[in-house]
Structure 1
Amino acid sequence: MAENKSLDYIVRGLQVLFATIIMGTDGYAIHVFRGHNDYVDAPVYGGDATLHVGVPAAWSFLMFCAVWTVLIVVFHFVEPGFTSRPMIGYVGITAEAVAVLSWLAGFIAVAVNVSTTSACSSGQNSCAALKASTAFGAFEWLLFMVTGIRTVMSFFNNQKRFRSS
């Protein structure tokens, strides 16, 4: 994204800021939820059963997406030193594609999980933090759509420049 460095810095800065907010809100929601035991009557198994309900996997996946975002942003700030190697461009495109798909899957999974009654049961104070994480995750996905398109366009423009010289 060498065409407009100031826009690149602003968008990448927003990506890191939103990832930090998501790490905080999602981490808080995970901490507050803590898991609990459900006692169920299971006549098939010969009596009562105890099931441990842990933190939903979607919440942890959203945390992974936030950490992955920080790594991608660091990579894209180091990447300009290696512009003479086309393989670095492919790595950048792949990282952006993984980020776009991860954020899409992550915020949708948490949004679906928040809408269920088990994730936001009475006595759990994690719903507001999860809703904030979901909203920031959606904005993060939009930011990665912008940077992903710009990265692909920049890569192909550089490929044309390499071929013509």
Structure 2
Amino acid sequence: MPTNLNTFILPVRIVQGVFTIIILGLTAYVVNSWSTPSNWYTYPHSPSQANFLLFCSIWTILILAYLILALARFPAAAHKYAILAAEAVTMVFWFAGFVALASLLGDVGCSRYWGVCRASEAAVVFGAFEWLLFTGTTILAALHVWRSRKTGNTAHDPAVEVQPAV
């Protein structure tokens, strides 16, 4: 029995977007604060792990724009392999980003009241949730590619698209 995922995908995309904006704000604060000299610490630059998580959030904004607009307004640009590749690359980026920053935080030994450390920890947690969301949508995209492999159809699955505004 086919299920209509239209009502499921748009809320997931909205949650992905909200988490991305939260992570963008947290990591921008972390990158800015870590590279600004203060009385407590002085680093010549922000750590690459925090910079990469900042990149992941910017990348995700662009990918979400592609995934929502291509499926809703430009169906010719919504090739099933392109969607799968965008989902998979974004999923891998989020996994690498939150694991790298979590590893750094374990090595740095954040103090209990250091605000940058707490913001970094929050970014790691939201990054892990973002990775889980993209893992789910990547699985859905991979299932669509797998199910439509014998038909030779390269178009997207209408059951997994965001409904265009009428």
TM-score scaled to structure 2, two decimals?
A: 0.77
| Partner Cα separation in structure 1 for residue 52 and residue 92 of structure 2 | 12
**Unaligned ranges ≥5, structure 2:** 154-166
Indicate if the aligned counterparts of 1:83 and 1:89 stay in contact, CA closer than 8 A.
no
For residue 121 of structure 1, report the CA deviation from its aligned partner: 6.2
Matches within 5 A, 1:94-105: 94-105=85-96
Aligned-residue RMSD, C-alpha: 2.6
Structure 2 residue identity aligned to 1:107 = F
Q: 2 CA distance for matches of 1:111 and 1:144?
A: 19
The alpha carbon displacement at 1:152 in A equals 1.2
Verify the 8 A CA contact 1:16 1:73 in the aligned structure 2. yes
Aligned residues: 147
1:143 to 119, 130, 133: 133
Kindly report which structure 2 residues correspond to 1:7-156, keeping only aligned pairs within 5 A, or say none.
Answer: 7-36=8-37, 53-80=44-71, 83=75, 88-117=79-108, 120=110, 124-156=114-146
Identity of aligned residues (%): 31
- Give the whole-Å Cα distance in 2 for the aligned partners of 1:28 and 1:85: 35
Q: 1:79 to 1:158 in 2, by over 3 A?
A: farther
The structural deviation recorded for 1:96 is 1.1
- The one-letter code matched in structure 1 to 2:7 is S
**In structure 1, C-alpha distance between the alignment counterparts of 2:85 and 2:59, rounded to whole Å:** 13
One-letter code aligned to 2:24: M
Offset, 1:155: 2.7
- Whole-Å Cα distance in 2 between the matches of residues 147 and 139 of structure 1? 13
Q: Give the deviation of 1:69 after TM superposition.
A: 1.0
TM superposition shift of 1:161: 4.5
Over alpha carbons, which structure has the higher Rg? 1
What is the CA distance between 1:153 and its match in structure 2? Answer: 1.2
Following superposition, the deviation at residue 52 of structure 1 comes to: 5.4
SS at match of 2:31: helix
- The one-letter amino acid of 2:55's match is F
1:3 deviates by 3.7
More strand by share: 1
Aligned to 2:158: none
* Deviation at residue 140 of structure 1 after TM alignment: 0.3
Question: Are the equivalent residues in 1 in contact too, given 2:35–2:43 (CA < 8 A)?
Answer: no
